A and B are shown apart, each in its own frame.
Chain A
């Protein structure tokens, strides 16, 4: 069964610095991969998704992710962090008929 592993439960960066959140997947078939964001006391919201088209995927709020088959990775990046990016980020993989399996999550803190 497909699964994802997020490296680092907590990432802290300075405002304006590069954001890099890591996600590795395990799948015997070409995976469909997603990043979701969860702001405090809110539900999850889709940031971006990879569905076997372009390997570099652009999402909302300036985030992007690159699918690298050779590294089984789908890391999330943003060139310049903003205070409003502080949230929990979840990588997910589609398993079967629209069942999303989530990673453990990475809490992003932005330092002024």
Chain B
């Protein structure tokens, strides 16, 4: 079974530029998450989708971050314009749906460096 796919793995941009990350979840997984992991910290949830609807985006900086999940499958996270403090690893995860299994399947992440 294929895992969660993310691209690009690495991206370096200058501040005020824009960047987009792509995620393809495990087939059949209804729930998709984007987490931000700053160096030395635990992952922080940015946005959670159930199919193509947003369940939680309370910690998404909506003035610069946006995310969509068209057709309830893959998803794109965009940052525009980027700030220095956006340097982090952006992790995508998916799960089979609502429930208490707690098992999220993570991709390898997209590492963003903002200069």
Judging by beta carbons under 8 Å apart, are B102 and A94 in contact? yes
- A-B residue pair count with CB separations less than 8 angstroms: 63
Q: A19 to B41, alpha carbons, bound, how many Å?
A: 21
Q: Which of A67-75, A76-84, A97-105 lies at the binding interface?
A: A97-105
Interface centre among A49, A90, A94, A100 (most CB of B within 10 A): A100
Q: A32 to B4, alpha carbons, bound, how many Å?
A: 24
Known A42-B108, A43-B109; contact A51-B100, beta-carbon cutoff 8 A? yes
Say how far B41's CB is from chain A's closest CB, in angstroms. 6
B residues in contact with A94, CB < 8 Å: 100, 102
B residues in contact with A43, CB < 8 Å: 4, 91, 93, 106-109
**Count, chain A residues at interface, CB 8 A:** 24
Judging by beta carbons under 8 Å apart, are B40 and A9 in contact? yes
Judging by beta carbons under 8 Å apart, are A44 and B102 in contact? no
What are the interface flags for A23-54 relative to B under an 8 Å C-beta threshold, 1 for contact and 0 otherwise? Answer: 00000000010100000011111100101000
Judging by beta carbons under 8 Å apart, are A99 and B4 in contact? no
What are the interface flags for B75-111 relative to A under an 8 Å C-beta threshold, 1 for contact and 0 otherwise? Answer: 0000000000000000101010111111110111100
Q: A2 to B55, alpha carbons, bound, how many Å?
A: 18
Q: A98 to B107, alpha carbons, bound, how many Å?
A: 18
Q: A112 to B45, alpha carbons, bound, how many Å?
A: 36
Q: A49 to B104, alpha carbons, bound, how many Å?
A: 12
Say which residue of B41, B45, B91 sits within 8 Å of A44 (CB atoms): B91
A residues in contact with B106, CB < 8 Å: 43-45
A-B interface, 4 closest residue pairs, ranked by CB to CB distance from nearest: A43-B106, A102-B42, A44-B106, A34-B102
